[in-house]
Amino acid sequence: MLTEPNALRKADALPPPVTYGDHKAQPVRKTRNTKVTPEATAKRMAWVVQVYAVRDNKDRKAFAELFGYFAPRVKSFLMKSGASPDLAEECTQEVMATLWNKAHMFDPTKASVSTWIFTIARNRKIDILRKQRRPEPEDLPWGPEAEPDQVEAMGLQQETEQLGQALATLPAEQRKLIERAYFGELTHSQIAAETGLPLGTIKSRIRLALDRLRHAMK
């Protein structure tokens, strides 16, 4: 179980990610045509385990590994969003420190570690670069916090990997448009007017998290 961080410390200790137990409960996945390797999912699950190690044991080694992988990408995102190198460096360190502090709020059945860190970085960007408040939606009344289910968590990690692969295999021009939208080079009206933006493609090819979220909200 993921409640014991050490049990999943090594990626190769993971069970094969394609094992869902009950295939009938997961009919949507059978229609997917993007292949996701077990290694790619294992890598994402390893990040989850590292966040858990930070949360439960204040594990500096696990944090250093997350830092080594994510900090240069957070910095890149912030610089592409318009931050100077110095400001991006400072914000990146704050984002990673926030990861440490908010590790208890991470839920791998609702987000991949990459998604979660992105949202922290994005909020920091709005705060620092745009100097605005960020209104956040009301939290859902989830009821008593159950320990996230591992099969569900793995399914979500896998779907996010699938999303990443689908993005990576978009035609270069379309991918560029998506990136520009996230780096703030397109306003929402430009996004709306941009016929080359593959929003429909994203929606139809990847039904990421929808079923899970709906399931979780029942």
Of 50, 73, 35, 67, nearest in space to 158 by CA: 35
Does 67 participate in binding another protein (rule CB under 8 A)?
yes
Give phi and psi for 13, each to the nearest 5. -85, -5
Residues 83-142 that bind another protein (CB under 8 A): 85, 88-89, 92-94, 96-98, 100-101, 110-112, 114-119, 121-123, 125-126, 130-141
Asked if 25 is part of the footprint of another protein (rule: CB under 8 A), the reply reads: no
With respect to another protein, which residue has the nearer C-beta, 11 or 202?
Answer: 202
Please report whether residue 16 would count as binding another protein according to CB under 8 A.
no
Whose structure tokens read 């939290």?
A: 139
- Which residues, in sequence order, are CB contacts of 40 under 8 Å at separation 6+? 161, 165
**Count residues contacting another protein (CB under 8 A)?**
78
**Cα 150 to the center of its chain, rounded Å:** 16
Whole-angstrom Cα distance, residue 200 to residue 122?
Answer: 24
Rounded least distance, CB 192 to another protein, Å: 4
Scanning 6-14, 18-26, 28-36, 200-208 for contacts with another protein by CB under 8 A, the matching segment is 200-208
Q: Name the minimum Å distance from CB 49 to another protein.
A: 18
Write down the least CB distance from residue 216 to another protein, Å. 10
CB of 194 to another protein, least distance (A): 8
Residues 173-192 that bind another protein (CB under 8 A): 178-179, 181-184, 186-189, 191-192
Nearer to another protein, 23 or 61 (CB): 61
